[in-house]
Every structure is written in structure tokens, then in C-alpha cells.
Amino acid sequence: MNINFEIQKIRAARRRAGAARQKGVSEEPMNPLGFIGFGEAAFHMASGLREAGFEPIFAYDVMAEDPLMGPKIKERLKAAEVTGAGSLEELIRASRYIFCAASAKVAVRIAEEAAPHLTAEHVYVDLNSGSPRMKKEIARIVEAAGARFADGAVMESVPPYRHKVPILASGTGAAALQSAFAPYGMNITVVEGEPGSSSAVKMVRSIFMKGFTALLLETLAAAHRSGIEQEIMDSIGRSLTSRPFEEYVNLLLTRTAIHAERRVAEMGEVLETLADLELDGTMAQATRQKLQSLVDKDLKAKFGGEPPAHYKDVIREMTEN
């Protein structure tokens, strides 16, 4: 598909919509979508939206002409029926909604490059996994150019959900984003507050989700080397599914508060075990250090040697005292 031809179609549709409004007739203008970056997440979102009837969709990926990555990107564009743009400026000129799905490490620079081409018609959505501070900086850049900004926090892995992946959105463009894409099945929840509010939820959640993955890697490596993989899988599975999650959290944290010193010692033995297996013990070492912080706060004495009533009592002692 030729992007200049698509732009002409969009402009014609907007003119028709404007004329219809003047006559008192309701006609929805075209709201073309442009992806900055067309990796796995963007491809699955775009293909899902196309199947749901959304059009037109454009994409610009700086790696499109790369000898290694280019063929894959072009294959994705064709499969998703997405029109490739030759430059960032061309993409923005063709689009009203812009989804930046590149990488957090280049997200601010991309916003700076996009800013001279943004107008009041644009809604710029940053979907990268970034800190609230980064999202606020991008919002400042985008809004200084006159566009609206939405901080989009993608809360699950995209491929299984495609365009229906749960997304939290905050910022001046969040409501418009939800309104434009909810009819096509996008699962967007507007979070009250400034840009960064939605990404704060994702960043804090990632402490657990990414940390849990790292713990699994370290645990199962030791289980494999010890020849006890299935036993470990069965044991951990029973522990995690035997009771409601909040009840399990309550049990773990309240008892750890008064037994931290013993558990520090146990983690020392765990580290010796990993050393004997000639395996990395990064997560076990970090666990011992975190448990030692409870010992240093003398939570056992503060709670009179008895588990507190609720895990929140432990968190308050750790964060407020």
C-alpha cells in the first residue's frame, strides 16, 4: 500500500466529516493509528485491531531496512495489513493516534524526534515499560508540541491477548484513547492522575513478576542439577495454590517478621548448597540481605514475639519507622 495515497484518503474523509458536521449530520472522521516500532507487541496489537475492523494502520520501524531485522519487519507488516512509513515524520503526518512501542531506553529520544511534527490533533501514547519519571518527561515533550499524551502501561504479555491486552492509561490523552479503541475490543482502563500514574502500577508489579521469574530460574537450575525438578515443582505448586493469595501473603510475611533471624541462617545454608552445586546464588544472596533488614529492625521484639495480625503491620514497620 502507498502511504501517500492513504494520507489522501484520510484527508478526504476528514473533509467529508467536517462538511457533514456543518450540515448537522453525524459522521465519524477517520482516526488512523501509527506504530513507532513494529516488534512482536506492535504486530500482535495491529493484527488484532485489523481483524476487529480498525483501519488504517501505519508503522515506522527504524530497523525496516536492516539486513537482518528488515525482512522480518516487512513480513509482519504484510501479515497484519499495515502500511509501512518511510520516516517518523511521514508516520506522524498519516496518523492521529501514535503508539510508541519501541524500547524504554530510546523512548524519550523518539518523543523528542517526534515533537516537531506533532499537532493538536495528535494523541501520543507511550506503551514502553518505563518509570513514572520517564513518562512525565515524555508527556512534557509531547504536550509542549500541542498534542495530548497517554501513559500506557501494558499489564500482561501481549501475544495471548493481542489488541485486547489489559492496558492502564493516564494523562491528558487517556480518555480519548479509551473512547477511540474500546469499540474495537481494546481493554483500556483510565487511571486518574498525571502521566506516570499507570506506569507506577506496572513498575511496582514488575518487582514481583520479574523477581519471581528470576527466583524460578535460580530454583529450577538447582533442582535440575540436584535431580529433583518434579519434586520441587510439585512442592512449590502446592504452596502457591493451597489457599487464597492474600491469605498466603499474610501467612508468609507475618511469620517472617518474627522468624527472620532463623531464616537468615537458613539462607546461609542455601548459599552453601548453591556453591557446592557450582551455581549462581544472586537471588538467594539478595533474599538473605532482605531478611537481614527485618532482623536489623528488631521486628520480633516490636511484635512481642508473636506474628502481627496482618501483613500490613509488617509493611508499615518496614516503610514508616
Domain annotation covers residue 66:
yes
pLDDT over threshold 70, residue 3: no
Band the pLDDT of 22: cuts 50, 70, 90: low
Domain count, the chain: 2
Domain annotation covers residue 25:
no
pLDDT over threshold 90, residue 320: no
Q: What is the mean pLDDT of residues 145-172?
A: 97
- The string of pLDDT tens digits covering residues 42-83 is 999 999 999 999 999 999 999 999 999 999 999 999 999 999
Where b means 16+ CB within 10 Å and e means fewer, 270-300 reads: beeebeeeebebebbeebbeebeebeebebb
Same domain, 235 and 134: no
Last residue of a domain, one of 139, 165, 194: 194
- pLDDT at res. 10: 60
Domain annotation covers residue 12:
no
- pLDDT at res. 260: 95
Domain annotation covers residue 16:
no
- pLDDT at res. 86: 93
Any idea what the CATH number is for the domain that residue 227 is in?
1.10.1040
Alpha helices (H) in the chain, listed in sequence order = 3-22, 40-51, 70-80, 88-94, 107-114, 132-144, 158-161, 174-181, 197-226, 229-241, 245-276, 282-296, 299-302, 311-320
Query: What Å distances lie between residue 97 and 59, 117, 275, CA to CA?
Result: 11, 13, 53
pLDDT over threshold 80, residue 25: no
The amino acid present at 86, given as its one-letter code, is G
DSSP 162: G
The pTM of the full predicted model, rounded to 2 decimals, is 0.84
pLDDT over threshold 60, residue 278: yes
List the one residue out of 79, 90, 72, 103 whose CA is nearest residue 3.
90
- pLDDT at res. 30: 66
Domain annotation covers residue 71:
yes
Cell of 305: 514475639
Same domain, 170 and 243: no
Q: What is the mean pLDDT of residues 192-214?
A: 95
List the one residue out of 35, 29, 169, 50 whose CA is nearest residue 95.
35
Same domain, 174 and 256: no
Any idea what the CATH number is for the domain that residue 48 is in?
3.40.50.720
- The H-or-E segment that residue 168 falls in is strand 167-170
88 and 36 Cβ atoms separated by less than 8 Å: yes
Last residue of a domain, one of 169, 194, 219: 194
Range of the domain at 236: 201-320
CA 163, CA 41: separation in Å to the nearest integer? 9
CA 278, CA 295: separation in Å to the nearest integer? 29
Same domain, 127 and 185: yes
Q: What is the mean pLDDT of residues 290-297?
A: 95
List the one residue out of 44, 42, 39, 47 whose CA is nearest residue 63.
39
- Grid cell 478526504 is found at 12
Cell of 255: 511469620
The amino acid present at 123, given as its one-letter code, is V
Q: Which residues contact 51 (CB under 8 A, 6 or more apart)?
A: none
Band the pLDDT of 26: cuts 50, 70, 90: very low
- The string of pLDDT tens digits covering residues 79-107 is 999 999 999 999 999 999 999 999 999 99
Share of the chain above pLDDT 70, in %: 90
> For the chain, first and last CA: distance in Å?
62
Could you tell me which residues are beta bridge partners of residue 148?
A: 123
pLDDT over threshold 60, residue 169: yes
Last residue of a domain, one of 146, 165, 194: 194
Same domain, 95 and 177: yes
Domain annotation covers residue 263:
yes
Same domain, 46 and 135: yes
pLDDT over threshold 70, residue 124: yes
Same domain, 44 and 180: yes
Same domain, 179 and 217: no
Domain annotation covers residue 11:
no
Same domain, 187 and 208: no
Q: What is the mean pLDDT of the chain?
A: 92
